Chain A
Amino acid sequence: MNVKTRPHNNTRLKLSLWLALAGFIALLFADIDMHRASPGQELLRMAQGLMAPNFWSYREIASSAFNTLAFALQGMALASAAGFILALLYRHPAVRGFCAFIRAIHELFWALIFIQLFGLSPLTGLLAIAIPYAGTLAKIYGELFEETEAAPRNNLLQSAGLSAFFYTTLPLAWRPLLQYTSYRFECAIRSSIVLGFVGLPTLGYHLETALGNGQYNDAAALLYVLLAIVVSLRWWLKKALLPVYLVAALIYLPPNAHFSWANIARFLSEDIIPAPLRNKANIDYVAVFDWLAMLWQQQILPGVTSTLILSQIALLLTAILSLAWFPLNSRQFFSPLKRSLGDGFLIIARTLPEYLLAFIGLLLLGPSMLPAILALGIHNGAIIAHLLGRYSGELVLREDACTGINRYSYEILPRVYRQFLALLLYRWEVIMRETAILGMLGIGTLGFYIDSAFEEFRFDRALLLILCAAILNIIADMFARNLRQRLHLRPSPETL
């Protein structure tokens, strides 16, 4: 029999094999040793902590929880306003490029930059969230506007202009726009928590201290508060209440900062100028070249290489875990009660930021790529599994469809595979972005070198390295988009 496979099926299979191969090859070069002799003991202590959370320092917990929310609210308010305006101009390539650039720099890197300018102030937290989020929201809003039906607009006397936009395009895009914005708000809370790890007074700050000192009872309390905030979002995040929340956030944590103009001027005109160019009347090209060559050899190349290696392995683990876990949230496999337990696990795993998971992993397993790989795989795997499980639940199977592992492999997996790849490719960029950041925990990705440069007050190096990380993200973004288009995969934004 001569069976012809449809070409796009074939390409999907090929892509999967390439991704797997890349992951396995990367594994050969990765440092995934365990450096702790007995992770079991530490794990036991953590489990004991989870059983007996210590809420006694409730004042501290409450104020850091409010700070977390205040940063997220203010950051999102500014980001959605700026993102909306940028989305109106999204046709212009310059605006597109600008948005791609500001979102390619992770919020933690923005925070490290603003800390130099404004110290550990509320303004720093606000800007660190608002700037990259504005870039992301501009992109999604812009795409939502472009995808609206053209007929209502074309029936008007003038289809261009603000009036036509507000009467046709905006109402048509409104629902998905709100859905995506509220999803991003959840992300902003995670970002706000992680900002605590660089010193801003959010939940992450206290989590780092408690975990670092082995005070797992205190850490457990903070963790439960974190989960409670994110899981309860759907009940208290209401459109009508947003202005109230925003005003409250502004009163509670006014976005101000003590800073000196002289300091900022020095940072911009001196500190970030490459060292061999500083205070020189004429440019010494040889010195500049040596400086760049040195950075390339000692930091950029090793940083980029381990970022790529780590993210490739993490992507493979994400793929494996999401395929293994999605039945947990699928109507096709479990009764509603069991499913809610399974989805509960997925929701917890996706609520905990990768950065926090990696931090806990480092405590358990010691410094290597292993904790970072596990953290990225668990967090992103849970996100995809949750969405894929829900998607598979909508499939209608014939009455006599097989059950168990046969149902999984013959009925469900072939039907959800396309959606799976689309989500995986989208997460690829996210994983790459996060991988660079996890270096700040001591793993040799770009973040490690960036963090070290900030610690040594070598801001010229730090900025160049951040630029490299941004370029890497932009390339990954373009590559993944290209693949999605070639494979005709397009996850609608609200499902991200």
Chain B
Amino acid sequence: MFELHNISLKYREQTVVKDVSLTIREGESVALVGPSGAGKSTLLKHLRSVQATKIAWCPQHAGLVPMLSAYHNIYMGGLSRRSSLYNLANLLRPFAGPKTEIQVLAESVELRDELHRRADELSGGQQQRVAIGRALYQQQAIFIGDEPVSAVDAIQADKILSLISQRHQTIVLALHDTEQALRVCQRIVGLKDGAIVFDLPSAQVTAEQLAALYQA
């Protein structure tokens, strides 16, 4: 699925990922953990860029279109499945088909009553759930998410993460909550200062390893 051999990546002119090799196979669920600035986001962006049109993508900042409704922001995930003309008409007046699909989806991310509201009227947590909805509606086999549930409360977060696991064969997530990472993913990759410190199945990761990751 993904094979990186000794790659280095830059963010704003600075090398933030150094000499990293990483292989991710189909069907795996991988969590990148590590302190902020470790290079998680840069690495995820790179993974996505390899085949951007085949990956459901949930960025750290929701990146919604503020003046459109939550419905339209979620619908955007499916733009490439339909013709431009259909999309244009749906922008003016939502069609029944996608509307039901998105209502069901919205229910699972607890946004049912917010669909008609403008994105900029929603709270931070709601906006993040709209972004997740958009990623889910992209309907791809691979899901890449950069802190997808950072602004969502813990119970909701677990529900949403397990929904994401059910709907996708392969998942790569950056998570700051290590407990959450251990619960959701089978494989944990610890990153620090742009390098991989450990890469182990969840069951084998020790508390010391995790603690060491976050020590200065």
Contact = CB atoms under 8 A, between A and B. Distances in A.
Contact of B52 (A157, A161, A163, A167): A157
15 contacts: A151-B59, A151-B63, A154-B63, A155-B63, A157-B55, A157-B80, A158-B80, A162-B88, A163-B79, A163-B84, A166-B84, A166-B87, A166-B91, A167-B65, A171-B65
B154 interface: no
Contact of A167 (B54, B57, B72): B72
> Which applies to chain A's interface (DSSP): helix, strand, loop or mixed?
helix
A427 B63 CA distance: 36
A157 B77 contact: yes
B110 to A, nearest CB: 21
A430 B191 CA distance: 57
A167 B80 CA distance: 12
A1 interface: no
Contacts of A151: 59, 61, 63
Contacts of B61: 151
B119 to A, nearest CB: 9
Given A156-B77, A156-B80, A167-B91, 12 more contacts: A152-B64, A155-B76, A156-B79, A157-B54, A157-B77, A162-B88, A163-B82, A164-B79, A167-B76, A168-B65, A168-B76, A171-B68
B53 A167 contact: no
Contacts of B79: 156-158, 163-164, 167
A172 to B, nearest CB: 6
A155 B61 CA distance: 10
Contacts of B59: 151, 155
Interface in A137-162: 149, 151-152, 154-158, 161-162
Nearest to B76: A167
A266 to B, nearest CB: 44
A479 interface: no
B138 interface: yes
A156 B57 CA distance: 8
Nearest to B72: A167
A156 B52 CA distance: 9
A176 to B, nearest CB: 12
Given A155-B59, A157-B80, A163 B67 contact: no
Q: Interface residue tally of chain A, by bracket?
A: 10 to 19
The interface centre, meaning the residue of B54, B61, B76 with most chain A CB atoms within 10 A of its CB, is B76
A154 B58 CA distance: 11
Contacts of A167: 65, 68, 72, 75-76, 79, 87, 91
Contacts of A152: 63-65, 76
Interface in B76-114: 76-77, 79-80, 82, 84, 87-88, 91
Contact of A174 (B55, B67, B76, B131): B67
Nearest to B87: A163
Contacts of A175: 67
B94 to A, nearest CB: 13
Nearest to B138: A157
A101 B76 CA distance: 37
B68 A162 contact: no
B30 to A, nearest CB: 21
A162 to B, nearest CB: 4
A154 B79 CA distance: 13
A171 B84 CA distance: 16
Nearest to B68: A171
A157 B54 CA distance: 7
A162 B64 contact: no
Nearest to A167: B76
The interface centre, meaning the residue of B52, B63, B65, B87 with most chain A CB atoms within 10 A of its CB, is B65
A163 B65 contact: no
B192 interface: no
The interface centre, meaning the residue of A152, A161, A162, A175 with most chain B CB atoms within 10 A of its CB, is A152
B192 to A, nearest CB: 27
Contacts of A158: 53, 79-80
A154 B57 CA distance: 10
B134 interface: yes
A221 B149 CA distance: 67
Interface string B29-70: 000000000000000000000001111010101011111100
A175 B84 CA distance: 23
- 3 closest pairs, A vs B, by CB? A151-B63, A162-B84, A163-B87
